[in-house]
Structure 1
Amino acid sequence: MHSPAANADPAPRFLDGAGDWVFRNIVAIAGWFVLITLVLAAFSMYWGGREAFAEFGWGFLTSTDWDPVQEKYGAAVAIYGTVVTTAIAMLIAVPVSFGIALFLTEVAPAWIRQPLGAAIELLAGIPSIIYGMWGLFVLAPILGNHVYPWIDENLGQLPVIGTLFSGPPLGIGMLTAGIVLAIMVIPFISSVMREVFLTVPTRLKESAYALGSTTTEVVWDIVLPYTRSAVIGGIFLGMGRALGETMAVTFVLGNAHYISLSLLEPGNSIAASVANEFAEATTPMYQSALLALGFLLFVVTFIVLAIAKLMLMQLKKREGK
């Protein structure tokens, strides 16, 4: 006698195998599409900026010149402004985001957690140009009239750090740009932290509380060690967002092509330079210099995210994962 399996139609098996092959190749194409797009974007910016790199060489990275009339360009001012504003943003955003995430997961009453979490996530959907306009028309006057004069008078006279906080209270400048950037990245970082804090098994926290641990001890000894890798990943995600921000920074940074140690004075950034001047770039060298700035921003962002990935890999090795 023949078994039913022997008489089974081979067509369904063939169709299943063909469907699996099609699905596997479609998702592979999607993955390669992202990688190829990334490489092509980087190459196109490098190719567009090749004239500036060939003309100025390594001096393009260290020069503070930016003179379209004499065709002299340097990226030092823009790089400095990008790094400083991002650093200010992260110094403000990381502690605030950490506090928000802990409040929503460990401290806040149950009735307020969902509405407050949704409100914070909605901040991420506000267009960056709105943040820039708010920063220019609302935040900058407040800082320039009420906050920066006090900072200049009291902190600007201190030794060592006084240089950072002395200067004219214009309202716009590096510190204002950093504050606006911090407000923009807080929703991203706090949302990631909140989600990963919710993944901590309730039994672990309840066991710690049963042994007499306080909320602070549970956070530092249970929650953070369990979610360390994801928290660092969220922080670097926010940093990448801050590095590439354009319109909000353009409104409040001041767009001055010089380096000043004072955080109260105007500066410039890579993204702001490209946004402000690309429409005015009438010569091939001018356009090439702006595209070279774009390539440098890509490289800086790539290096930051690569460092984050390496850190996460090292953490996983230490944790034995």
Structure 2
Amino acid sequence: MLVRDTLSSEESEITDIQEICKPLPISVFLTTPIILFRIMSRAHLRHQTRYLLLANALLSDLIFVVFYMLITCLNAASVLMSDLACGAFLFLMGVLYSAGVFSATAIVVDTSLAILAPLRYATLWPTSRTYGVIVATWVVSVFFPAASVALFLWYHATGPCTQLICSLPLLLVLTVSHSRPLQVCMLLTVTAILVILLLVVAGYVALYCHSSKSGVWRRERSSRAKGTFLIHYLHLFLSVCPILLLVIELLLYCNSTGLNPSADLWISLVMCNVLLVLPKGLAPFLYGLRYRDLRGPLLDFFGLNRPRAITPVM
């Protein structure tokens, strides 16, 4: 009876949440392909590490949103799914999300080398090494979600009932909340991702402190550097929020048995359908409008790049 009530509640409430966050995936589909095409079609951009790492992060976000929208459409159409198919979807989404986290880590390492060792930067991090770093981010990203999905399949294989709706908020409420091994495994996984994100933030703080001592922030062009740091901090803060909320929710699962299913469902819905997609929907605008080489195509696409009138000098 609880499962049936939760299913009906999830179907009605998830529709309202998805109507609110519908512009976020649309913005990703509109802007990210433009940025990726711009980077891949320009030879001077393909030979810069920062653009290659940015393209890798945006590509993982784009594919993540594609799978997110696919699962959303399947749930809206009441399509039933086996545990194996659902586990495959969750595994791919976990790999894509982890790839985005490791891409952010690679970006901060690249920026650190460019600022701390500018004379040796080309030797320490050539373009050929960047491709190896990108491949490594995807390989390492496989290990984080593999354990959680394996435990998910084991739990449903030994459980008395089968859940045929592949919805991440519903899985958190009906599956993770009742399985202590899943709680511990997911808690370790998301804690590791949270630690990595916090290390990325600490890296940017260290770069800010190092560059402020050199007097960069007192020059006339410091506003551009401040804007770049602000973009990185905002994007990382939005990325940390859902992971931090998931850690809190898992800790409540482990230490409490009297949680309200309705409140728990709302927290999971907001976390999975809003906070998880928000940084991916804003990233193309934050980075695309910041870099001069990427700003022009975006403004041209939206019809905002109007030519300025030139006044002749007499």
TM-score by length of 2: 0.29
Larger Rg belongs to:
1
- Between structures 1 and 2, the one with greater helix share: 2
